[in-house]
Amino acid sequence: KTPLDIHMMIEHPEQTIPELTCCDENDIICIHYESTLHPQKVLASIRAMGVKAGIAINPATPVCVLEDILPDVDMVLCMTVNPGFGGQKYIPYSADKIQRLRKMLNDRGLTADIQVDGGISAKTIDQVLEAGANILVAGSAVFGGDILANTKALTEKIEEFRNRQ
């Protein structure tokens, strides 16, 4: 079964999460830090369902807000554009932010994934991978034109990165 990666881009996700009864231990529910007053409580409720918990932060939200809740997450999603619509340009300071987040995780011995979403393309992949991201979301870079050719180009960039490691 392919895991579901549910990115809840809504305010007050705690009101909707109980309805997600189709999820299992392979799935992840990701909420936005900015969407609730009590992100740790919401993350705990997600984990209580037997599902992986993720937290997303918007580009202007500093990674330091996650310091105390990092042990409660399986994934951090760094938005590399302001959420709302596809086709936006990658925000360049995102790589520094991803790098700081990876250091925070490593310093604490935590293994949470770092996902990036927004403006990911063949031109930006190296930046986010080198910074420490390990899950990439690419919309326009895949679906803007020849899907097979675009997917192949992105896959080749990822393989080039892996071969350099």
How much is the pLDDT for 59? Answer: 97
Answer for the pair 36, 57: CB distance below 8 angstroms, yes or no: no
Give the DSSP H or E segment for 159: helix 147-164
Say which amino acid occupies 150.
N
Per-residue pLDDT of the chain (165 residues; tens, 9 = 90+): 789 999 999 999 999 998 998 899 999 999 999 999 999 999 999 999 999 999 999 999 999 999 999 999 999 999 999 998 888 999 999 999 999 999 999 999 999 999 999 999 999 999 999 999 999 999 999 999 999 999 999 999 999 999 998
Which pLDDT does position 10 carry in this prediction?
93
Quick one: pLDDT at residue 1?
Answer: 77
3-class SS shares of the chain: helix, strand, coil, % to 5: 40, 15, 40
Q: Which tokens sit at 15?
A: 């009101």
What pTM, to 2 d.p., does this model score?
0.95
Instruction: With H, G, I as helix, E, B as strand and everything else as coil, classify residue 125.
Output: helix
Write out the H or E segment, with its range, that includes residue 140: helix 140-143
Instruction: Say which amino acid occupies 115.
Output: Q
